[in-house]
Chain A
Amino acid sequence: MKSFAAHALVLLALSLGAQPAVHAADSYVVDPSHTSVIFGISHLGFSYTYGRFNKVSGSYVLDEANPAASSFDFTIETASVDTGDAKRDEHLRKPDFFNANEFPQITFKSTEVKSEKNDKGETIFQVTGDLTMHGVTRKVTLPLRLLKVGPGMDGKQRSGFIAETRLLRSEFGMTNMVPHIGDDVAVTISFEGGVQ
C-alpha cells in the first residue's frame, strides 16, 4: 500500500511538472507608427511648447504574472526631435540643447519592473531603468499603465502602455537657458508592440 502511494505521488509530481506554464513571458517589438514620445516645456513662463521624437524603436518582454521577469528597452533618435518649427528644431539639435551629433541616441534600459493596481484597478508597471540622454545616465522610474493586451487587427497579440513623468533636463547636463526655458520637462510616452 505504501509502495502504491509512493508511486502515485511520483506520477502526480511528474504530471504536474509536464504541464505547460499558464503565464509565459511574451516578447514584443515596438510598433513605431503607434508610439509617441511627447514632451512639454515652459517658454519664459508664458506658455508650454510641446514637441515629439519621430524615430523611436525598441522591444520589451511582458510577464503579467511575474512582473520581475519583464523588461523594456527603447532607443530614440535624437535628431528626430520635432516641435513643429524647423528653426527651433535645428537649434535643439545643436550643442546648446540635445547635441545630436555628439549624442545621436537617447536610450532607456530597464533594470527592475514591479506592478501594482491603481485606484481604478488598472495595472501600473513601475519600470525602473537607466535613461541615457546627452551623455548622462540616470536611474528613472516610468509608471507604465497597461492599456490593453489582446489581438490586434491582424489577429496577433499586441499590448500597449502609457506613462507620464517629469524630468529635470539639468540633471542630464542640459543647463543652457535654464530657467528661461524650463528645467522641468513633462514627458508622455505611449507605445504599443506586437508579439514577436
Chain B
Amino acid sequence: MIRLTDILLGGILPGILAVAALALVWKLTKNAASSWRTAAVLSLVAGLWALDAQGVGLSTAISKSLRITEARDFLPLMVILAVVPDAVATLGKNGSIAGWVLRIALCGFLPWRMLNGTKYLPKNGPLLWSTGEMIAWLGGTALAIFATWSLVRAESTEKPKLRSVLAAIVALCGAITIAMSGSITYAQLMGVLTATLTGCALGTWLLKVGRGPDAAAGPLVVSFGGILVLAHFIAEVKLLYVVLLLVGYAVGAGWFFPGKKWSTPVRCAVCLLAISAAVVMAGLDFAAAQAVAANNPYMSL
C-alpha cells in the first residue's frame, strides 16, 4: 500500500531537492560533476531518511544509518561513501589508481555488508551456502556492480540528456518490477532513486549541464545495485529481472559504442527492451498470482 505521504516524501521531495541542488551548484561552480554528485547524494539520502522518518521520526531515521539494524539502513552511508572513489580519481595518476582500488573494495563490500547477518551469511547457525557458492554469489554480484559502475563512468560526453532520461526510466521500471514482485518497501527505495534521477535529468535539460549520470556514477550505481541486491536476496525478486534491470541501466546510462551512427537507436532499443522484459514478466507473474488468489479475502487489502 503506497500512501500520499510516501509519494511526497520519497518522490516529490527528493525530486525537487535534486533539481534545486543541481541548479545551485551549477550556478556557483559551473562544474557538472560536482553539480550531479551533490544533487544525487543530497536527494538520495534525504529521500531515504524522509521515507523512514514516517515510521520512526527523523532523528531515529538518521541515527539508523549509523546504528544499522536492517540492511537497507546501510544505503545512505554507502551512497555517501561511493562519492569518494570518483573524487579521489581526479587527483592525478596516483589518485586514479587509488580510485580503482576503492571502487573494487566498495563493490566487494556492498553485497557482503547487505547480506551479513541474513540467512545467507548468518552470524550464527547453519550456513545456507557452501564456501564455493558464497564466493560465486558475492563475487558475481560485486563484479556485476563494478562492471556497471565502470561502464557508466566510461561515458562522459555522448548524449548526456538522453542517458539521464534512460537512467530515470530504468529506475522507474525497477520500482514497478520490485513492487509487482511483492515488496513495497524496496520499491519505495527504488522510487527515491527514480525521483533523484528524474530531478537530475530535468536539471540537466533545463540548464544544459553537459554531463549525465556518469558524473555521479558512484552514488547512483551503488544505490541502484544495493537495492537490486536487497530485492533479489531478501525480497526474492527473480534473478532474471534483476539482471535485465542492471543491463538496462548499464546500456542506458553508460558507455555504448560512442561515435557510431547506430549507437543511439540501438542503445535505446536494448535498454528499453531489457527493462520492458523485466516489467512485463513481473507483471505476468503478478497477474497469475492475482488470478490464483481471486477469491482470497487478503487481496481486498
Contacts and interface: CB of A to CB of B under 8 A. Distances in A.
Choose among A96, A177, A180 the residue with the greatest number of B CB atoms under 10 Å from its CB: A96
Given A87-B299, A104-B118, A94 B235 contact: yes
Given A87-B298, A90-B182, A175-B55, 12 more contacts: A87-B289, A87-B296, A95-B70, A95-B185, A95-B186, A95-B235, A96-B183, A99-B70, A105-B125, A134-B70, A135-B117, A173-B69
Given A99-B70, A104-B119, A180-B1, A85 B298 contact: yes
Interface string A69-88: 00000000000000001011
B117 A102 contact: yes
A13 B98 CA distance: 76
B285 to A, nearest CB: 13
A95 B1 contact: no
A180 B300 CA distance: 13
A95 B183 contact: yes
B230 interface: yes
Nearest to A177: B1
Contact of B293 (A87, A175, A176): A87
Interface residues of A, number: 25
A170 to B, nearest CB: 6
Contact of A178 (B55, B182, B230): B55
B298 A94 contact: no
Contacts of A134: 69-70
A101 B182 contact: no
Contacts of B117: 102, 135
A10 interface: no
A100 B230 CA distance: 13
A91 interface: yes
13 contacts: A85-B298, A94-B185, A95-B235, A101-B233, A102-B117, A102-B119, A103-B118, A104-B118, A170-B55, A173-B69, A176-B55, A176-B185, A178-B55
Interface of B: 1, 54-56, 69-72, 117-120, 122, 125, 182-186, 230, 233-236, 289, 293, 296-299
Nearest to B299: A87
Among all A-B residue pairs, the 7 with the closest Cβ atoms: A175-B55, A135-B69, A88-B298, A95-B185, A102-B118, A104-B119, A101-B234
Given A87-B289, A170-B55, A99 B184 contact: no
A177 to B, nearest CB: 6
Choose among B119, B186, B236 the residue with the greatest number of A CB atoms under 10 Å from its CB: B119
Contact of A95 (B69, B120, B234, B289): B234
Contacts of A136: 69
Interface in A87-130: 87-88, 90-91, 94-96, 99-105
B138 to A, nearest CB: 16
A94 B183 contact: yes
A177 B296 CA distance: 19
A55 B118 CA distance: 18
A184 B119 CA distance: 28
Contacts of B70: 95, 99, 102, 134-135, 173
B298 A95 contact: no
A90 B234 CA distance: 13
Given A91-B182, A177-B1, A101 B119 contact: yes
A94 B182 contact: yes
Interface string A127-141: 000000011100000
A92 to B, nearest CB: 10
Contacts of A177: 1
Interface in A144-188: 170, 173, 175-178, 180
B261 to A, nearest CB: 45
Contacts of B184: 96, 176
B19 to A, nearest CB: 29
Contacts of B236: 94, 101
Contact of B54 (A85, A96, A100, A175): A175
A42 to B, nearest CB: 13
Contacts of A135: 69-70, 117
Contacts of B186: 95
A173 B298 contact: no
Contacts of A104: 118-119, 122, 125
